[in-house]
Chains A and B, each alone.
Chain A
Amino acid sequence: MTEEELHALRARALSGGPEKYRERLASQNKWPVRERLLRLLDPDSWVEDGLLAQNQAPDLAADGVVTGLGRVHGRPVAVMANDPTVKAGSWGALTVEKILRIQEKAYDLQCPLFYLVDSAGARITEQVQMFPGRRGAGRIFYNQVRLSGRVPQICLLFGPSAAGGAYIPAFADVVMMVDHNASLYLGSPRMAEMVIGERVSLEDMGGARMHCTVSGVGDLLARDEAEAIRWGRQYLSYFPDNYQMMPPSYPASAPRTEDWSGVIPANQNQPFDMMQVIARLVDDGSWFPLKPLFAPELITGLARLEGRPVGIVANQSLVKGGVLFCDSADKGARFIALCDAFNLPLLFLADVPGFMIGSRVERQGIIRHGAKMIAAVSEATVPKISVIVRKAYGAGLYAMAGPAFGADATLALPSAQIAVMGPEAAVNAVHYHRIQELEEDARQHFIRQQQESYQKDIDIGRLAAELVVDDVVAPEELRRECIRRLTFYEGKARVFSERRHPVAPV
């Protein structure tokens, strides 16, 4: 090969697929794959493997996937990025091999791995070479499972991720989906109509909005590719390169406001916006929500306290009263495992009436879903602070890292109430027969009297007297208290139990 020939081969590989597909990108609100990489990575940091893959074939530039190493915030990352202009980003045998190799590189280098996905799935014409074997597509998912919890795996979804390919996002830690362009599905609408007779649009079946609000496979719904990429870079700023490192610190900033007046209503039954509490705790501008549109009765997100990353799990009483459901329990369990894997301390903000009851949720398996969150909270050995903001009733207390669940500290605000159930339900449960026997006037008087006495019993002053909580703090003191405590807890021993692995509820 002459040097001229090399330049020609390179130029052809770098240009991607046929011109008609490249020209179509702009009208689809898509950037070319190399533009995506340019935006994701620090300038002049890129080294590429396999650029010349399939260079003898006229229309398979790099075999439809770009793989290599670059830097984000100066830190090394591995990247695979589908090229949608090359056979719609579909996977041939060498596409799969390139993906496997960059995964194995991330494993060895212990660096984060970005998946920039825009792919129609398997190339059926190459299925024998790319689908079933030891180095077939299945190995991509096997590798993802091996990488899970070892290094951050971040998926930016710019287009379809179809059939088998749909599992890449599922095994990633986090998935940013571009609204209207990203989609995820096992069978296309055409296939659904043929095989099961269902008629459904792509957007309804597997669109970005559906996955970010209903199925929960997507984490964040991006307006466009620029936003998805910006979020990908920002997400990484909360995480270490791998499980053996601590997350990076950034310069501290004060919260947006520290005025707590009127934030927490006195009436326990009245919903309020927990985001107002978070805004008063975390460094201004540091809040990064995960799955904000899915099961929003539970807030999960990343933030910084005095420059140090934390994961926050908080009940949002504005939605469904902050009651925990199957989806919110799953969401909480996943987020807790994520933070625990990468050494992010957990801050729980509890205002929870409990897990939902009733026949509907029992049939959905609320018990086993709730068990997942309680298992995750038990197994998490990162520093855990549980703050009882208002009510913490029933197993809701357990799911929010109550005292029995290895919390390094259980702090209560003066408005806190901890109990098996709230006063109304408890008085009715304990005195049911008596209440039935009484005449109307006497009944109301009796109920009120019993509720008041119950209220005294679960008052936080009494629970502090019994050492149920470690301290009661005023809202204005909470941020400083958490920051100071976390500096002591960061060196804590992190062994939970000796065994192969738990038999986890699913």
Chain B
Amino acid sequence: MQAIVASLAGTVFKILVKPGDAVKAGDTVVILESMKMEIPVEADASGVVQEVPHREGDFVNEGDPLVIVS
């Protein structure tokens, strides 16, 4: 199990994966909106999505898990 975390505080703008999806390192999995910028968050390792703990519109802080992969 590994968490892909928010690189900075902001709002979850778009979630691009759902549980069961396969992701590769470098894939964009979530787009955050912060400081009026769209910030893509990339997977840092490959795996299968287990859980997406937030919904679009949620506030997340830096370091909060966005996608859990295994």
Contacts and interface: CB of A to CB of B under 8 A. Distances in A.
Interface of A: 269-271, 317, 319-323, 325, 353-354, 356-358, 360-361, 421-422, 424-425
B40 interface: yes
B8 interface: yes
A269 B36 contact: yes
B7 interface: yes
Given A356-B35, A358-B9, A360-B62, 20 more contacts: A269-B36, A269-B37, A270-B38, A271-B37, A317-B37, A319-B7, A320-B34, A321-B34, A321-B37, A322-B37, A323-B8, A323-B34, A323-B35, A353-B35, A353-B36, A357-B35, A360-B9, A360-B61, A422-B36, A424-B36
Interface of B: 7-9, 34-40, 61-62
Nearest to B62: A360
Decide if the interface of chain B is mainly helix, strand, loop or mixed. Answer: loop
Given A360-B61, A360-B62, A425 B7 contact: no
Shortest Cβ-Cβ A-B pairs, 10 listed: A321-B37, A353-B35, A358-B9, A422-B36, A321-B39, A320-B8, A424-B36, A323-B35, A353-B37, A269-B38
Nearest to B33: A269
Contact of A356 (B8, B36, B38, B40): B8
Nearest to A267: B38
Contacts of B62: 360
Contacts of A320: 7-8, 34, 39
Contacts of B35: 321, 323, 353-354, 356-357
B57 to A, nearest CB: 16
A317 B34 CA distance: 12
A24 B9 CA distance: 48
A188 to B, nearest CB: 28
A255 to B, nearest CB: 27
Contacts of A353: 35-37
B44 to A, nearest CB: 12
Contacts of B38: 269-271, 321
Nearest to B7: A320
B12 to A, nearest CB: 15
Q: Which of B8, B36, B39, B61 has the most CB of A within 10 A?
A: B36
A103 to B, nearest CB: 41
19 contacts: A269-B37, A270-B38, A271-B38, A271-B39, A271-B40, A319-B7, A320-B8, A321-B35, A321-B37, A322-B37, A323-B34, A323-B35, A353-B37, A356-B9, A356-B35, A360-B62, A361-B9, A421-B36, A425-B36
Instruction: Kindly name the residue among A317, A319, A320, A354 whose own CB sees the greatest number of chain B CB atoms within 10 A.
Output: A320
B31 to A, nearest CB: 10
A229 to B, nearest CB: 31
A351 B25 CA distance: 27
Contacts of A271: 37-40
Contacts of A325: 8
A166 B35 CA distance: 37
A223 B24 CA distance: 25
Nearest to B40: A271
Nearest to B31: A271
Contact of A323 (B37, B40, B61): B37
B34 to A, nearest CB: 6
Contacts of B9: 356, 358, 360-361
B34, B37, B38, B39, most chain A CB atoms within 10 A: B37
A378 to B, nearest CB: 24
A422 to B, nearest CB: 5
A361 B38 CA distance: 19
B36 to A, nearest CB: 5
A16 B38 CA distance: 57
Contacts of B7: 319-320
Contacts of A357: 35
Nearest to B35: A353
A325 B9 CA distance: 11
A112 B8 CA distance: 40
Contacts of B39: 271, 320-321
